Amino acid sequence: MLSGPGGILAAAVLTPSFLLAAFAVAVAGVMRGYSGFGTAILLAPILSTLWGPRAGVPVLLLIELIVSIQLLPRSLHEADRRMVLPIGLAAVLATPLGASVLLYADGLVLRRAIGALVLVFGLLLLSPWRYRGPRPLPLNLAVGALGGLLKGATGMSGPPIILYFLSGPEEARRHRANLILFFGLIAIVAVVPPLLAGLIDATAMIRTAVLLPLMVMCVRLGARLFHVIPTAWYRRCAFGALVLAGGIALAA
């Protein structure tokens, strides 16, 4: 049996579960590049099922951080910063509280909760329902805080944030930029609690280092497809993938 760095590398990436994770990362990368979201929502249930929440979520957070940095510069000019920044601040403040759930909750219960959340979210996106009411500052802060709690606990702040952002009258390009800016703000803070708790270990770093080039390449591919593939076609495939991922996490 291998020991030392070589043994850690083999145990981290030379497994069938890692190949499944790589496929999920490729799909999530295309989703993120095209729509501005999809990394955490698709990967959280898959990686939590393959490796457990305390091993899978830190890898997700590291990938999300680097991808957000890649997409962030352009979105700063296209996003509605007046709306996004207060929501992002509330999320940043709430994220450490949510991280306590990741650190202390039962792994099986947390994995199934992630799966249920993604499944419900995917079904809501497939439905015609959207929030059409006003978006005052208190509501913005409440939605941001909820997103931060979910980010800390599960690695994904997306469900309430995406539904809320997509309820607005903005065009697809502005929606995409708003989501990229928000996820960029929260990604920086989200890695701190698991790092301090020791969840970002050598295995997590190796998995991230191997998966990251694939993610970056697929994000760029998705960004190019944004100008080619009609939104209606993309939405059916992407939201169907979310429903499938949530169902897998619940059934496994």
Tens-digit pLDDT profile for residues 105-155: 898 899 888 888 888 887 887 777 777 778 899 999 999 999 999 999 988
Residue 155 lies in a domain: yes
Residue 184 lies in a domain: yes
> Can you tell me the mean pLDDT for 192-197?
92
**Confidence at 10, pLDDT banded by 50, 70, 90:** low
Residue 88 lies in a domain: yes
How far apart are the C-alpha atoms of 26 and 213, rounded to whole Å? 10
Contact 215, 27 (CB under 8 A): no
Is pTM, for the whole model, over 0.85? no
Residue 10 lies in a domain: no
Residue 125 lies in a domain: yes
- CB-hemisphere CA count at 13 Å for 131? 16
Residue 211 lies in a domain: yes
Buried/exposed code over 179-199 (b: 16+ C-beta within 10 A; e: otherwise):
bbbbbbbbbebbbebbeeeeb
User: What is the tally of structural domains in the chain?
Assistant: 1
Tokens standing for residue 16: 């069938």
> Can you tell me the mean pLDDT for 180-190?
88
Residue 7 lies in a domain: no
User: For residue 3, is pLDDT > 80?
Assistant: no
243 Cβ contact list (under 8 Å, min separation 6): 119, 122, 123, 126
Residue 246 lies in a domain: yes
Range of the domain at 177: 16-251
How far apart are the C-alpha atoms of 125 and 127, rounded to whole Å? 5
